[in-house]
């Protein structure tokens, strides 16, 4: 895994990491990048909004089914809200 | 994929930017549980202590996809800000590929559907939260 050093730090207080994390305050701030990104490149991630298969409790992941289920109205609102929040 | 594309399209329209479909971001294939109730998959997962399902993508399959994706990002314009809109399973593997280890419980808390955007920063800290090997 290339993160033996990570293991040596496991179990230390999460609260400390939470103080200076900005967007990583939910437990992610203390993780270090195993493969640093090139300088200047910024990568952000977002998990899609609530979708119809989530609500129905149906697994759908492969290419055959990938277009069956879209966002619910709640999912659309979630993403619109994020778009407004993050717009700058 | 449709739900991720819809999400990305909403954002792109609001921000006046271009969304591009990337098939490497498709959700992890759940094999025999495809189009079946989640409860069946979760039961199998619990019993077998594995998130890789019969006839579905293996860990090496998904790792390969993540590796290709990271390669594409590194090969792109260095001054870009890219937002990846994807699915829960694939996102977990992506974070695992970037960070080395990811705690599943923390991941679930932080990355529920449509919750917020997280930026992956070249951040190094001597502190790490509890970690769980990916299975």
Domain locations along chain B: 24-135
What is the Cα–Cα distance from B73 to B122, expressed in whole angstroms?
14
Asked if residue A45 belongs to a domain, the reply is no
pLDDT in tens, A52-77: 887 887 776 655 556 678 899 999 99
Is position A20 within any domain? yes
Q: Which domain holds residue A61?
A: 52-86
Q: What is the pTM of this model?
A: 0.73
Q: Are residues A34 and A3 in the same domain?
A: yes
* A4 interfaces chain B, CB cutoff of 8 Å: no
Residues A26 and A1 in one domain: yes
- Whether A6 and A34 share a structural domain: yes
User: Does the beta carbon of A62 lie under 8 angstroms from any beta carbon of chain B?
Assistant: yes
**Separation of alpha carbons B92 and B110, rounded Å:** 11
Same domain, A58 and A80: yes
Q: Is residue A47 part of a domain?
A: no
Nearest CA in chain B to A51: B3
Quick check: B82 pLDDT over 70? Answer: yes
pLDDT digits (tens, 9 = 90+) for A13-55: 232 232 223 333 333 444 455 556 677 777 888 888 888 887 8
In a domain, A82, yes or no: yes
Among B16, B19, B41, B113, the residue to mutate for chain A (most A Cβ within 10 A): B113
Domain count, chain A: 2
Q: Are residues A3 and A32 in the same domain?
A: yes
Residue A25 covered by a domain: yes
Judgement on whether residues A1 and A34 belong to the same structural domain of the protein? yes
CB atoms within 10 A of CB B16: 7
> What is the tens place of the pLDDT at every residue in B84-99?
999 888 888 887 777 6
Does the CB of A18 have a partner CB in chain B at under 8 Å? no
H-helix or E-strand containing B71? helix B59-75
Please name the member of B7, B123, B133 whose beta carbon is closest to the beta carbon of A29: B123
Q: DSSP alpha helices (H): ranges in chain A?
A: 4-9, 14-18, 52-56, 73-86
């Amino acid at each position: 895994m290339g993160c033996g050093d990570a293991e040596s730090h496991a179990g230390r207080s999460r609260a400390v990491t939470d103080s200076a994390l900005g967007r990583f305050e939910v437990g992610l701030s203390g993780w270090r990048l195993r493969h640093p990104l090139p300088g200047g490149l910024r990568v952000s991630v977002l998990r899609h909004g609530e979708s119809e298969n989530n609500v129905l409790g149906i697994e759908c992941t492969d290419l055959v089914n990938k277009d069956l289920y879209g966002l619910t109205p709640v999912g659309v609102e979630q993403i619109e809200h994020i778009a407004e929040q993050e717009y700058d | 994929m449709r739900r991720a594309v819809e999400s990305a399209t909403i954002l792109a329209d609001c921000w006046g930017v271009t969304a591009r479909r990337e098939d490497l971001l498709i959700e992890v294939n759940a094999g025999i549980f495809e189009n079946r109730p989640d409860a069946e998959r979760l039961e199998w997962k619990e019993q077998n202590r594995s998130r890789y399902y019969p006839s579905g993508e293996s860990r090496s399959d998904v790792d390969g996809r993540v590796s290709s994706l990271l390669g594409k990002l590194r090969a792109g314009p260095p001054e870009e800000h890219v937002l990846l809109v994807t699915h829960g399973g694939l996102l977990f593997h992506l974070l695992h590929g970037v960070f080395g280890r990811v705690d599943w419980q923390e991941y679930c808390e932080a990355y529920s559907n449509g919750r917020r955007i997280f930026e992956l920063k070249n951040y190094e800290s001597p502190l790490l939260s509890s970690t769980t090997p990916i299975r």
